[in-house]
Each structure stands twice: as C-alpha cells, then as structure tokens.
Structure 1
Amino acid sequence: MCEHHQSMTVRALSVPNAKAPFEPTTIERRELRPDDVLIDIQYCGICHSDIHNAHNDFGRGVFPMVPGHEIAGVVAAVGCEVTKFAVGDRVGVGCFVDSCGECDFCRSGEEQFCRKGVVVVFNSTGYDGELTYGGYSQKIVVKDKFVVRIPDGLEMNVASPLLCAGITTYSPLKHWNAGPGKKVAVLGMGGLGHLAVQFAHKMGAEVTILSHSPNKKSEAHGFGASHYYVTTDLATFTELAGQYDLILNTVSANFNVDALLSILKVDGALVHLGLPNKPEQYNVFSLFAGRRIITASNVGGIRETQEMLDFSAENGITPMIEVIRADQVDEAYERVMNSDVRYRFVIDMATL
C-alpha cells in the first residue's frame, strides 16, 4: 500500500513576464506518485539557456516562469515503488524530468531525443498537461528515472553545474572519441568551455583554448590546456590551419564558421554547443576542402549524465563557481551576459 504524500506549496523565484526582474513567489509541487522522488534543493546553477528562456529569446516562454536545470539536493521522500534512492541520498536533476520511456532513443538511454518529446524541467508541458517549474525553488518532485546520484567525492555546490554544463561538454567529447592522439580545440572559456577543457584533458586529448580574451591564459593552462590562442588575432586561424580533429564551439554568439572549419583536419568535426539567436552562415567550400563536418550536440541522456558525474569525481573535475544568494539572481544574469563570471553562478537555495 502506497503512503500518501500530499502536494505541497514551496517557495520559488519566478519571472512574471519576459525580461522582468525575479520575484519571490510560491508554487505547487505535485503529490508523490509511486515512482517519484521529492528533493530538498540545496543549490541550482545558472545556465545561459535559463537567461534565453527568461528573456523569451526563443519565443517559447510561458510566464510566470521558474527557471533552473542544474539542481543538486538531498532526497526528502520517495514514492512506494522507488528502490534506487532513499531519504538522505545526495542527488541531482538536470535538463529533463520525463520522456516516453518506450521509443528507441529512450530505450538506448538517449532520452534527449525522445520521439514523443522529452519533458524539460522548466517551461515545458508534462504528459499530465501541467507546466513544469525548475530548480530556482526549495523542493522539486521528479520521476526516479530522471534523478542521478552525486558521488561522495563531489561537493554539492560544484556538482550543480555539471548537470547541464558538464554533460553538454562531456557527451560530444565521448561521441567524437576525444582521447590520446586527438587534438581538440575549445572555442570560448566560460561556463561550458572551462569544463570542456578539463574533460578533454582527462580523456587524454591535447587541448587548445580559443578565446576572445587574452586574460584567461594561466587559468586555461591550470585546467589542462596545452595551448591558448586569441581569436581576435587573424593570424591565429592561418597558423592553426588543418590541425584539429574536433572543435567544441561553446559560445552563445555567432562566430565566423568558415574560420573555425579552416582549422579542422580532414574528417574533423565542428560541434556547436552554444545557441546563438541568429542563424549561422558558412561556405560549402570550407567543408569541401576537407570532408569536414558541422554538427551540434544536445546535452546527453540520464545514463551518460551519471557516467559523467562519476568520471568527474574520479578525475577531480570541478567547475569553478561563484555562489550567490537568491536576491542576487538579476545581477548574476547581467554579469553572465557581460561574460563577467568565473565561470558559473550557483544559487544557494538556503537563502530563498
């Protein structure tokens, strides 16, 4: 017989409409279903896509909105059929909270491509027709299949950005076989880029950072980069022509795609991870010259997210973060848009 856990009202930060300042509010969390986990949220990271959604840059925003998809917390209660988690476990929730579970992608652990449409943790409609609210809140109820375990070797506050920024960079590095003998370039050393370089280095690849700013060089070497080039210097792309097996483009702004393609080897791949507001442009000759590939990568599945967390704990990979209070989120959004963060903001939910 299932114990009855009632729905609850919890405190949250919401944006009442596009580009509005955040305000404290309350939201309803559903009563626990048999396969649900109730999580007391301790930390939630701020991702650039939170900002895109809160500003309605993609035109799909539903308001009021509670963003947040880098959630780290502790299990407070479990539904009666949950065996994988117990009260007190350290857990995380990333971008997704549900998928059909039946299509070929769900069965192969790539829920992000679910044919029915994956349910995103915020600003998404669940299969029950309810709007989802994210991690800028005290508690969240999530189906057990979409909860991951945070290894003991990771502090809760640094684990938080791994749930989006971590898996977003780990997944394409694995998919395109970054490893010994491979040369990887990372464009941009922000929230994504500073993790991409750590993962690629620990996987055994030789890593180059391409940044518009000359002042992050010593940090880049500390994260495991062997080389550092400034993209505003046009000579950079001439010097690096044809050198890389893989480029991860982590920036959210449009960049000269032809210049990036020119530094790939034959059969090299350029993987877009940032989401610019305007379409990218490139010349087919840039591909033709070396059978080069332009692609993108969409986070990763739950199984791979767990693998990434374990890899991070084993290899000492930690995001560099700045912990903020709940009343500093508006200011943090401003700073992210001005690239003024080293390298990820994380909200301490105890301050809500």
Structure 2
Amino acid sequence: MLTVNAYAATSATDPLTPTTIERRDVGPHDVLIEIKYTGICHSDIHHVRSEWGEATYPVVPGHEIAGVVAEVGPEVTAYVAGDRVGVGCMVDSCRECANCRTGREQYCLKGNTLTYGSIGKDGTLTQGGYSTHVVVNDDFVVKIPDAIALEEAAPLLCAGITTYSPLARWGAGPGKKVAVVGLGGLGHVAVKIAHAMGAEVTVLSQSLKKMDDGLRLGADHYHATSDPETFQTLAGAFDLIVNTVSAVLDLDAYLGLLAVDGAMVNVGAPAEPLSLSVFSLIMQGRSYAGSLIGGMGETQEMLDFCGEHGIGAEVEVIRAEKINEAYERVLASDVRYRFVIDVSTLR
C-alpha cells in the first residue's frame, strides 16, 4: 500500500482538510499516476455536501485528473512510465453488459465505479484526485496529447467529454446551428468544441456580461435569455441546444428555439424536477434528451480532437489550501472558467 497526501471532506458542513489516504498496490493491469493537476467540478461540491444523497466520509473528491505515469503493472501494454495521462469520472465498470461491450461504460447496467464516493470491487471506498497519486485499471486511463497543457487538460476529463459527447452524437458540424445554454465550466468548453466542429454557435446566457468571452472562445452569436425578445427572435433557429446549466428553466420556451427535428440535450443536472408540455415536442418533431459524460473510447477521441484543434479549458490554477475558498467562488459564479488544483502544493 502507498500512503499519499490528500484533501478530504469529513462531513457535509465542515471545510475540506489535509489528510493522508492509502492507495492499493499496483496490480497486473494497474497504472500508478503521479497527479499533477485536478480540476474542481461543481459536482464535487454537490457530493461532499451530500446534496445528491448522503455521502460516505471521509471522501477525497476530484474526477478531472491529469498527471504522469509513475509505474505500470506487468500486463499493461498501452502505457509506460512518463506518459501524460488522465482519469475522468469512472475507474471501473462490469465490462460485461451490453453497454460496456459497446464502449458506453458510463451507462454500465450493473453500475460503474465512480472515481470517488463509490464502493469498488475490492469493497473499499474510492477516493479521487485531490491527492498526489492514484492507482487505476489501465482500461480507465486515457492519454493526454502533448499539444494540451496538463492544467488545461484536467477539466476536459469531465467538462470536455460531457459536452463533446452530445455534440458528436447529434451531429454538430458545418451547416448546423448549435446553441449552448450557459457559459460556465461546461459551457465554455462546449463553445470551443462546437466551433472546432464547424457549427454555427450561439451562446444563450442570462445576461450579456460574458459576451466578449463567448465571442473570443468561438461563438458566432450571443443572446441574453433574460430578454423576452430573445425567444421571439430565435424561434425555430437551432438544430441542437446543449443545456449546461443546473438551474430550473422554462423548457417550453427553450424547446421553441428548435427547428423541426431539432434536439435539446441536458448535461446540467438541476436538483429540482423539470416539466414541459408534450406539445412543445410533437408539433415540430423535436426531441428532449439527456447525456452523461462518455465511454472510455469516446473520451480518448475527445482528447485527440482537442489536441488536434488546440482546445484546452480556461483555468485558474490554485494551491491546495485555497480549495475551500474556490468552492465558495464556484457557488458565487466567480471563476472563468474552471479552478484547477496544483497538486504539487499537496506534497
């Protein structure tokens, strides 16, 4: 066993504090990763504060992990020491169900093992990337292209694949009009990726205060959803809407922005139920869907795409002792656009 430094939550109300955790010995198919950077995702906050169900404590969050291979098991062939690698939201799945066999491990029918807060096959609680090292099965490790700085790559392991997957599945590309709802941690990456795919991109944000950023990141248009005229002007305009926000929206109003056969896909996860009129769908053949991260093959595809197009997240790198402050700033929307922990400050 390897003892490593980490930051952990010990309850839903107390701040995260420094600690040490044990990492398992490197098995035949395992990769030991020296973590360089870990992104802070809003879901980290939801989890440690037990807002999505009661968490088991202590828990080390972090599922946007970028680092360097330190050691591999004897049966690992895809990675060697020194490789630049990443780990996202999953570290295992059953590998046997229909979804796993088709590369959609995120929808494992037996339930995948999350990077933190899950019970692994060995019966222990998984602990995430707010730590100096992690041991992961090689099937759940991905290579980070040299063209992407590790600190900018870390958020792609969640925000990148979460937005790339629906954009790819619903055919964002030349001749398609895509709207991104929200220009935050997810939305800003969605804009970059949709632009690189060749789509005409519009940002739909509550206000125009981030318009300059949105246009700089690749948006062609930017509209404020607080202005009722937006929904009249853009009625029937889009082939695809990717909703990245976790707030309650007037779904009927947003569905009215879709063209015939258009689709609106939710990747944000509001805690409250949402409602809509079925007529918003059936009268124009529209679809409303959800999407959850992506499988391991698609995650590697996303990273390769981002490497080819020079796409990384817009990040603010922080020291580990600033994690609790960063949480409060995330809740206040005071970040452009993703906090990333410099894990060297944990050592």
TM-score (norm. length: structure 2): 0.98
> 1:237 aligns to what SS in structure 2?
helix
Cα deviation for residue 19 of structure 1 reads 3.0
What whole-Å deviation, never above 9, does each CA across 1:133-169 have from its counterpart, x for those lacking one?
Answer: 0000010000000000011111110010000000000
Superposed CA deviations along residues 168-216 of structure 1, whole A, max 9, x for unmatched, are: 0000000001111110000000011001011111111100000112111
Partner in structure 1 of residue 153 of structure 2: 159
**How far apart, in 2, do the equivalents of 1:63 and 1:98 lie?**
21
The residue that corresponds to 2:277 in the other structure is 283
Higher mean displacement: 89-98 or 284-293 = 284-293
Map residues 39-188 of structure 1 onto 2, 5 A cutoff: 39-188=33-182
SS across alignment from 2:209: helix
Aligned mates of 1:19, 1:275 — CA distance in 2 = 22
Q: Which ranges of 4 or more aligned residues in structure 1 deviate by more than 4 Å?
A: none
Alignment partners' CA distance in 2, 1:66 and 1:275? 21
Specify the code of the residue in structure 1 equivalent to 2:308. Answer: E
Partner Cα separation in structure 2 for residue 213 and residue 133 of structure 1 = 38
Matched, 1:232 2:226: yes
Q: Deviations over 1:21-43 (max 9, x none)?
A: 01001111011110000000000
**Which stretch of structure 1 is more off in the superposition, 168-177 or 54-63?**
54-63
Deviation at 1:289, TM superposition (A): 2.2
Query: For the Cα contact (< 8 Å) 1:179–1:200, is it kept in 2?
Result: yes
Q: Which of 281-290 and 69-78 deviates more?
A: 281-290
8 A Cα contact 2:266 2:291, kept in partner: yes
User: 2 CA distance for matches of 1:28 and 1:95?
Assistant: 20
Output one character per residue of 1:29-71: Cα deviation in whole Å (capped at 9) or x when no partner: 0111100000000000001111110111111411111100000
Amino acid at match of 1:105: N
Q: 2:194 aligns with which of 196, 200, 220?
A: 200
Amino acid at match of 1:38: L
2:284 is the counterpart of 1:299: no
Query: Aligned equivalents of 2:143 and 2:279: distance in 1?
Result: 46
Q: Give the AA of the match of 1:25.
A: T
Give the C-alpha shift of residue 267 in structure 1: 1.2
* Cα deviation 1:301-335 (Å, max 9, x = unaligned): 11111111111011011211000010111111111
Deviations 1:59-87 (A, max 9, x none): 14111111000000011111111111111
- Aligned partner of 2:11 in structure 1 is 17
Counterpart of 1:140, as a letter, is V
**Does the 8 Å contact 2:207/2:223 carry over to 1?**
no
Partner Cα distance (2:252, 2:125) in 1: 40
- Deviation, 1:345, is 0.3
1:340 equivalent to 2:331? Answer: no
SS of the counterpart of 1:319? coil
What are the residue-to-residue correspondences of 1:303-314 with 2, within 5 Å?
Answer: 303-314=297-308
**In structure 1, what is the Cα distance between the partners aligned to 2:207 and 2:60?**
33
Q: Do 1:19 and 1:56's aligned partners in 2 also have CA atoms closer than 8 Å?
A: no
Structure 1 position 283, deviation (Å): 1.5
Contact 2:195 2:218 in 1 (8 A): yes
Alpha carbons 1:185, 1:248 under 8 Å: kept: yes
Instruction: Name the CA distance, whole Å, in 1 between partners of 2:156 and 2:236.
Output: 31
**TM-score (structure 1 length as normaliser):** 0.97
User: Counterpart of 2:258?
Assistant: 264
1:255 aligns with 2:282: no
Please provide the CA RMSD for this pair: 0.8
